[in-house]
């Protein structure tokens, strides 16, 4: 697939996901909790903690529960409180808030809160500043600190978190476009339908590609066309849409 065609796909998909939405879903992390200013410290901590447990979760109920929980249970989003707390005492409050279902999720929530205190005195922006607001420097730090930042340092979670801080938290991060990560299973299905070989997706496109596959491509069940093509922003580039695109080559979206 040529570079120009790939750029058209990126633009069409990213624009639709950010504005009109894909089949009712439009960037669940972008909506603000009540009383929070975009990009303030509370918001960055909120994004950090929720991204930490977002892997494999349905984004709409997760982010909805998180937005509701922040004003109701602010201590669960306070790194200083988390750092002092016994992780076992967090399990039931986090479960009741709809944030976690497993003890392991409560444990990692506690550890990330503690890590923010250890590395940034409870401030996400302080940690970003230490890395010069550079996404690659942040990635390197996380890879060297896997014990301190469990899950958040993972090959999928870390780039998604950094992209989320930029897209939803208003943080300007250099070199963010150089971070790529494996697409989800649903995302890989979407890439294949678009004629894009390989498993990597740029960090800034991951959520949109995942949503395309999960909400759109998954509905295509072995027919010669896609029932959702009329509402799909990238149907003209899809093998099940209006134009055939069957000959891709390795590369990321």
**Domains of the chain, each with CATH number or no CATH:** 3-26+180-237 (no CATH), 28-178 (1.10.340.30)
Cα–Cα distance measured from residue 242 to residue 217, given in angstroms and rounded to the nearest whole number = 14
Residue 113 C-beta-side C-alpha neighbours within 13 Å: 24
Q: In terms of C-beta distances under 8 Å and separation of at least 24 residues, what long-range contacts does 128-134 make, across chains too?
A: 128/165, 128/171, 128/173, 132/174, 133/171, 133/172, 133/173, 133/174, 134/173, 134/174, 134/175
Is 0.85 surpassed by the pTM of this model?
Answer: yes
pLDDT at 243: 42
pLDDT at 19: 86
Check pLDDT > 80 for residue 252. no
Q: Where are the beta strands (DSSP E) in 66-212?
A: 180-182, 200-202
φ and ψ of 181, to 5 deg: -150, 160
Confidence of residue 247 (pLDDT cuts 50, 70, 90): very low
Q: Where are the beta strands (DSSP E) in the chain?
A: 180-182, 200-202
pLDDT at 218: 77
pLDDT at 147: 97
The residue count of the chain comes to 253
pLDDT tens-digit readout, 69-84: 999 999 999 999 999 9
Q: What's the whole-number mean pLDDT along residues 45-60?
A: 95
More confident residue, 175 or 252: 175
- Are 179 and 163 in contact by the 8 Å Cβ rule? The answer is yes
Cα–Cα distance measured from residue 79 to residue 90, given in angstroms and rounded to the nearest whole number = 13
pLDDT tens-digit readout, 107-165: 999 999 999 999 999 999 999 999 999 999 999 999 999 999 999 999 999 999 999 99
Confidence of residue 25 (pLDDT cuts 50, 70, 90): confident
Nearest residue to 18 via CA among 134, 125, 163, 230? 163
């Amino acid at each position: 697939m040529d570079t120009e065609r790939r750029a058209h796909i990126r633009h069409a998909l990213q624009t639709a996901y950010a504005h009109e939405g894909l089949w009712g879903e439009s960037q669940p992390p972008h909506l603000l909790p009540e009383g929070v200013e975009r990009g303030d410290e509370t918001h960055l901590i909120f994004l950090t903690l929720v991204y930490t447990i977002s892997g494999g979760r349905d984004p709409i109920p997760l982010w909805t529960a998180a937005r509701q929980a922040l004003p109701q249970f602010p201590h669960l989003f306070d790194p200083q409180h988390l750092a002092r707390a016994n992780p076992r005492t967090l399990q039931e409050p986090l479960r009741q808030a709809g944030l976690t279902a497993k003890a392991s999720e409560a444990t990692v929530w506690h550890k990330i809160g503690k890590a923010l205190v250890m590395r940034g005195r409870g401030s996400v922006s302080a940690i970003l500043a230490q890395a010069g607001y550079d996404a690659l420097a942040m990635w390197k730090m996380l890879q060297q600190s896997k014990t301190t930042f469990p899950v958040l340092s993972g090959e999928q979670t870390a780039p998604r978190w950094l992209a989320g801080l930029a897209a939803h938290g208003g943080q300007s991060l250099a070199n963010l476009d150089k971070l790529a990560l494996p697409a989800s299973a649903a995302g890989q299905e979407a890439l294949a339908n678009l004629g894009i070989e390989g498993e990597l997706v740029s960090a800034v496109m991951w959520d949109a590609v995942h949503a395309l596959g999960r909400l759109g491509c998954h509905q295509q069940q072995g027919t010669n066309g896609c029932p959702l093509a009329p509402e799909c922003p990238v149907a003209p580039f899809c093998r099940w849409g209006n134009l055939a695109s069957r000959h891709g080559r390795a590369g990321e979206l």
